[in-house]
A and B are shown apart, each in its own frame.
Chain A
């Protein structure tokens, strides 16, 4: 890998992450090319980038999932590299390979590594051999309902179906018995195909009352790795994260070191480069199970940025240019506390029903310790074609207690009219005593379900 600076990067994504990546590039003096669908002509990524290319109709599979049209946009605008963001083609090994085949640097791990991260069966066997504990389940993609029933009988109900092609809760369903599993298979597969262009599912035993804790790692092309501590992501609704924080109120120094070492062990094993996340389930006794590699930048990366002082997107770009990691593990310090609320166009009073439409009034919070990553603006029309995430409200303070107070204050300033959003929901969570104490697990939000 020879080091060469990028002059121009294409961002193969939309929404807040496209804006986030453009900002990182601008600060590095790198020119940017946005892509957009017919539905996104007025999107902020189009306004902020130096150039913008229309890549097709509104439906994702005809635009943001359309590899040919994105590669054509990249070669046509003579970019050096492609940043895939999260979702869409970010964990698609064929896309990473198509970039390389067209002399474009893919800002992320190699195609082989993405394939290895996605290949749960190969990963599972190797991990078990290394003594890393994993959750029992199917060794491979579920090829028929009969096979799913057999594996489920083997590991015991309840079981969970997960999309092989990506995370974020799409294509995930729990089944308590064989009837539920039969129904869940069809729906989960459709969701997985719509979200990732890949209907493949695998099945795992469902561990009850766990915490979802993940480790951010970065690695260069010379075998150097550091981890940037953990993110606590237990506050989830339908397996979609809604609130994240770093550090986790549950993780002490010893557990952090163990999780971090395990994360780097997994990264080294699959030859991981660039930024990535290792997801773990942690039970109440602090036993942890490795879940999966997220071979991309993640939605919740800002909480790690605010406690480490590192710009992870800029690190991705530097590492993709072939540079060495700028620091060693003992130089990484977690400073203070950061919390993030995902602001979704969804109605918390109606079972989080999606709420697309026009923003009629928008007042963003700001002030000390507040960061808002968003692509929405006044009179922006949120289309039904894409994810409901419309922004991330992130705060930093010197400890968790002050960060919570800061988030309460920022939420009270945040006004969106014209659509429903998750802001009122976050306001309630940030008043909840268990949440404030840090007593949370992935079922935390179930108690909010009946309180409309």
Chain B
């Protein structure tokens, strides 16, 4: 109860990718521990891939978007429970 979480959001309109390259395994799964600055997903916009990183260490609680789905700027992508 009351555990603190934060959400990784998309800096740009684009396409959400859970892996760093097609065919690779997802960067994170629900329940996985992440370190601060660890890459948790990728956004592709206008053919440029941007790595999105965890702000603080924690545990992945929810992945809010399906792989390869279009996302809007500022859309919430991954919820992380702060360690």
Question: B14–A354 contact, CB under 8 A?
Answer: yes
Question: B21–A193 contact, CB under 8 A?
Answer: yes
Give, as a whole number of angstroms, the nearest-CB distance from A320 to chain B. 28
Compute how far the CA of A384 lies from the CA of B12 in the bound complex, rounded to whole angstroms.
Answer: 9
Question: B46–A191 contact, CB under 8 A?
Answer: no
Interface residue B57 (Cβ < 8 Å from any Cβ of A): no
Best-surrounded residue of A194, A345, A346 (most CB of chain B within 10 A): A194
Interface residue B4 (Cβ < 8 Å from any Cβ of A): no
Interface residue B15 (Cβ < 8 Å from any Cβ of A): yes
Interface residue A187 (Cβ < 8 Å from any Cβ of B): yes
A240, closest chain B residue (CB): B48
Main secondary structure of the interface of B (DSSP, over half): strand
Compute how far the CA of A384 lies from the CA of B11 in the bound complex, rounded to whole angstroms.
Answer: 13
B14, closest chain A residue (CB): A384
Known: A193-B22, A354-B12, A357-B13. A187 touches B49 (CB 8 A): yes
Interface residue B42 (Cβ < 8 Å from any Cβ of A): yes
Interface residue B38 (Cβ < 8 Å from any Cβ of A): no
Q: Which residues of A contact B21 (CB under 8 A)?
A: 186-187, 189-190, 193, 199
Compute how far the CA of A385 lies from the CA of B50 in the bound complex, rounded to whole angstroms.
Answer: 14
User: Could you say which interface size class chain A belongs to?
Assistant: 20 to 34
Taken residue by residue from 53 to 81, chain B's Cβ proximity to chain A (1 for < 8 Å, 0 otherwise) reads as 00000000000000000100000000000
Interface residue A400 (Cβ < 8 Å from any Cβ of B): no
Besides the known contacts A187-B21, A355-B12, 19 further A-B residue pairs in the complex with CB atoms under 8 A apart: A170-B47, A186-B24, A190-B42, A190-B49, A191-B47, A191-B48, A199-B22, A353-B12, A354-B45, A356-B12, A356-B14, A357-B13, A384-B12, A384-B45, A384-B46, A385-B15, A386-B47, A388-B46, A388-B47
Compute how far the CA of A385 lies from the CA of B68 in the bound complex, rounded to whole angstroms.
Answer: 12
Question: B22–A384 contact, CB under 8 A?
Answer: no
Q: Which residues of A contact B42 (CB under 8 A)?
A: 190
Q: When A and B form their complex, what is the total count of cross-chain residue pairs whose Cβ atoms lie within 8 Å?
A: 63
Question: B13–A186 contact, CB under 8 A?
Answer: no
Compute how far the CA of A366 lies from the CA of B47 in the bound complex, rounded to whole angstroms.
Answer: 30
Question: A354–B48 contact, CB under 8 A?
Answer: yes
Q: Which of A385-401 contact B (CB under 8 A)?
A: 385-388
Compute how far the CA of A199 lies from the CA of B12 in the bound complex, rounded to whole angstroms.
Answer: 24
Compute how far the CA of A170 lies from the CA of B49 in the bound complex, rounded to whole angstroms.
Answer: 10
Question: B13–A191 contact, CB under 8 A?
Answer: no
**Residues of B with Cβ closer than 8 Å to A?**
11-15, 17, 20-22, 24, 42, 44-51, 70
Interface residue A93 (Cβ < 8 Å from any Cβ of B): no
Give, as a whole number of angstroms, the nearest-CB distance from A144 to chain B. 14
Interface residue A195 (Cβ < 8 Å from any Cβ of B): yes
Q: Which of A338-371 contact B (CB under 8 A)?
A: 345-346, 350, 353-357
B21, closest chain A residue (CB): A190
**Residues of A with Cβ closer than 8 Å to B?**
170, 186-187, 189-191, 193-195, 199, 345-346, 350, 353-357, 384-388
Compute how far the CA of A14 lies from the CA of B49 in the bound complex, rounded to whole angstroms.
Answer: 21
Compute how far the CA of A386 lies from the CA of B48 in the bound complex, rounded to whole angstroms.
Answer: 9
Question: A187–B46 contact, CB under 8 A?
Answer: no
Compute how far the CA of A356 lies from the CA of B42 in the bound complex, rounded to whole angstroms.
Answer: 17
Give, as a whole number of angstroms, the nearest-CB distance from B20 to chain A. 5
Give, as a whole number of angstroms, the nearest-CB distance from B69 to chain A. 12
Q: Which residues of A contact B14 (CB under 8 A)?
A: 354, 356, 384
B68, closest chain A residue (CB): A59
Pick the contact of A353: B11, B20, B22, B49 (CB < 8 A): B11
Compute how far the CA of A225 lies from the CA of B20 in the bound complex, rounded to whole angstroms.
Answer: 43
Q: Which residues of A contact B70 (CB under 8 A)?
A: 384
Give, as a whole number of angstroms, the nearest-CB distance from B18 to chain A. 12
Q: Which residues of B contact A385 (CB under 8 A)?
A: 15, 46
Question: A387–B46 contact, CB under 8 A?
Answer: yes
Compute how far the CA of A353 lies from the CA of B45 in the bound complex, rounded to whole angstroms.
Answer: 9
Q: Which residues of B contact A345 (CB under 8 A)?
A: 46
A345, closest chain B residue (CB): B46
Known: A190-B21, A199-B21. A356 touches B45 (CB 8 A): yes
Q: Which residues of B contact A186 (CB under 8 A)?
A: 20-21, 24
Question: B20–A195 contact, CB under 8 A?
Answer: no
Q: Which residues of A contact B11 (CB under 8 A)?
A: 350, 353
Give, as a whole number of angstroms, the nearest-CB distance from B23 to chain A. 9
Q: Which residues of B contact A170 (CB under 8 A)?
A: 47
Question: A187–B20 contact, CB under 8 A?
Answer: yes
Q: Which residues of B contact A346 (CB under 8 A)?
A: 46
Q: Which residues of B contact A199 (CB under 8 A)?
A: 21-22
Known: A189-B21, A190-B42, A199-B21. A384 touches B15 (CB 8 A): yes
